[in-house]
Amino acid sequence: MLTKTSVHNTKFQMPEFDVNLEEDILLFDKPYQCTSFDIVGKVRGIVQRKANKRLKVGHAGTLDPLATGLLIICIGKMTKQIEHIQQQTKEYTGTFRLGGSTASFDLEHPVNKLFPFEHITESMAQEAAHSFIGTIEQVPPLFSAVRYNGKRAYELARVGKDAQLETKTISIYNFDITRFELPYIDFRIRCSKGTYIRSIARDFGTALQSGAHLTALRRTMIGQYHVDNAIKPIIIEQ
């Protein structure tokens, strides 16, 4: 059985990069096990030292610590574009593991319930994926930043309290199965703002009369911006 994965322990440094200190949009390939705020903080420190003054620096969409991929950071006047960028279509790739669920729907928590998965065929998985395409209602994960009675849902979850989170309307434009090797299924999903891929993992498992959680997630695209063009932080071996 999988055990809890430690997070927030990846050390990295930024390579040299060109930046317009007045207005710029920078793309970064966020490493595994570091937070979006780790990247923003590092970039803020670099650009403010170059400018020798305080500058507005913000990101256009958080990635979970266990996710990798495209993180867009806006500098100066381009911070006004953050809301517009966040509204753009997003693309993710990753892996579901069938046969087990976790409290967070990913590897941040250990598997807490086992399910059968041997009955699942590739055609069943394809059919289940297709059923998600369109405008759907989704319940966010309890381990998320969604507010409930004035508090973040994850604050309640961490002390063992439950919260009946409201459904949110999202859109799934594409849901492709790219590898079928049970208990693992690789996918590519294009979706709207506000979509929780961890919740799709939960609901995908339920649709297949099993359970599922996320074992890998990578954001590859937001609108016209692609991770292939992103700056890659240098990981420091520990």
In the block, residue with structure tokens 């071996």: 237
Phi, psi of 31 (to 5 degrees): -75, 165
* Alpha helices in the chain, H assignment, sequence order: 36-51, 82-86, 122-131, 153-158, 197-207
176 a catalytic residue: no
Active-site residue (options: 29, 38, 64, 203)? 64
The whole-angstrom separation of Cα 43 and Cα 31 is 14
CA angle 133–138–144, rounded 5-degree value: 130
Q: Return the SS3 of 37.
A: helix
- Token representation of residue 35: 């937070």
Q: Which residues are catalytic?
A: 64
